[in-house]
Amino acid sequence: MSAPVARPIVVLISGSGSNMAALVQASRQRKWAARFGAEVVAVVSNRPDAAGLAWARSHGVATTVVDHKLHADRPSFDAALMTAIDAHRPVLVLLAGFMRILTPDFVRHYEGRLVNVHPSLLPAFTGLRTHQRAIEAGCRFAGATVHRVTPELDHGEYLAQAVVPVLPDDTPEALSARVLTQEHLIYPRAVEDLLIAGV
């Protein structure tokens, strides 16, 4: 029987989980378990049909679904979500394409341990449709930001950013794909920096 992980990490997803997969792969390639005692021990989704769940299971990561549609309101969903997460006693909770706005009580519960990746160069373009808005605004550059989560949407300490050019003929889909490639690079690096710092 393997020893318990000293510094468990839980990842929250709603869809394909490409950032989650990048985190799991980076953690194994860079030997987080041996170096920091840290490991992604669980993936939790609010959608039972999230494609990332199958990927996680196929790579030996435990999965849980807390379906938001089965809860009457946001506080009851967040309470159930906290129960699922806290079963793993995580040192970090990583939002990776988790498409639910979380209550202030949830955010406070994980204060200092809750991290998100957002597809814009914050503080520009908080919220949704970031790539479309960047193109419409005539931005020459776009990018991604890894940040700590606070009760205010897409605010909190910036941990890492990556910049990509906005091309003259860009579409939101093309820009999104370029930004996503950078998200897959900077998110694991930012998490590793937190582990080095002793979070």
Q: What is the pLDDT of residues 150-189, one digit of tens each?
A: 998 888 999 999 999 999 999 999 999 999 999 999 999 9
Q: What are phi and psi of 49, to 5 degrees?
A: -95, 10
Q: What is the DSSP string of 133-178?
A: HHHHTT-SEEEEEEEE--SSTT-S-EEEEEEEEPPTT--HHHHHHH
Tokens describing residue 116? 């998100």
In a domain, residue 77? The reply is yes
Vertex 198: Cα angle to 2 and 55 (nearest 5): 50
Contact between 17 and 97 under an 8 Å Cβ cutoff? The reply is yes
Q: What is the CATH number of the domain that holds 73?
A: 3.40.50.170
> Which residue(s) pair with 116 in the sheet?
95, 147
Tokens describing residue 161? 């950013």
Tokens describing residue 7? 């510094």
Mean pLDDT of 61-74: 97
pLDDT tens-digit series, residues 109-133: 999 999 999 999 999 999 999 999 9
In a domain, residue 21? The reply is yes
Domain residue limits at 38 = 7-197
The number of folded domains in the chain is: 1
15-50 as b/e, with b when 16 or more CB fall inside 10 Å? bebbbbbbbbebbeeeebbeebebbbbbbbbbbeeb
Is 109 a known active-site residue?
A: no
In a domain, residue 49? The reply is yes
Q: How far apart are CA 175 and CA 134, in angstroms?
A: 9
In a domain, residue 1? The reply is no
pLDDT tens-digit series, residues 12-28: 999 999 999 999 999 99
* Catalytic option among 88, 118, 147, 184: 118
**pLDDT higher than threshold 50 for residue 39:** yes
Contact between 75 and 43 under an 8 Å Cβ cutoff? The reply is no
In a domain, residue 103? The reply is yes
In a domain, residue 164? The reply is yes
Strands 92-95 and 38-45: unpaired
In a domain, residue 2? The reply is no
**pTM for the whole thing?**
0.95
In a domain, residue 188? The reply is yes
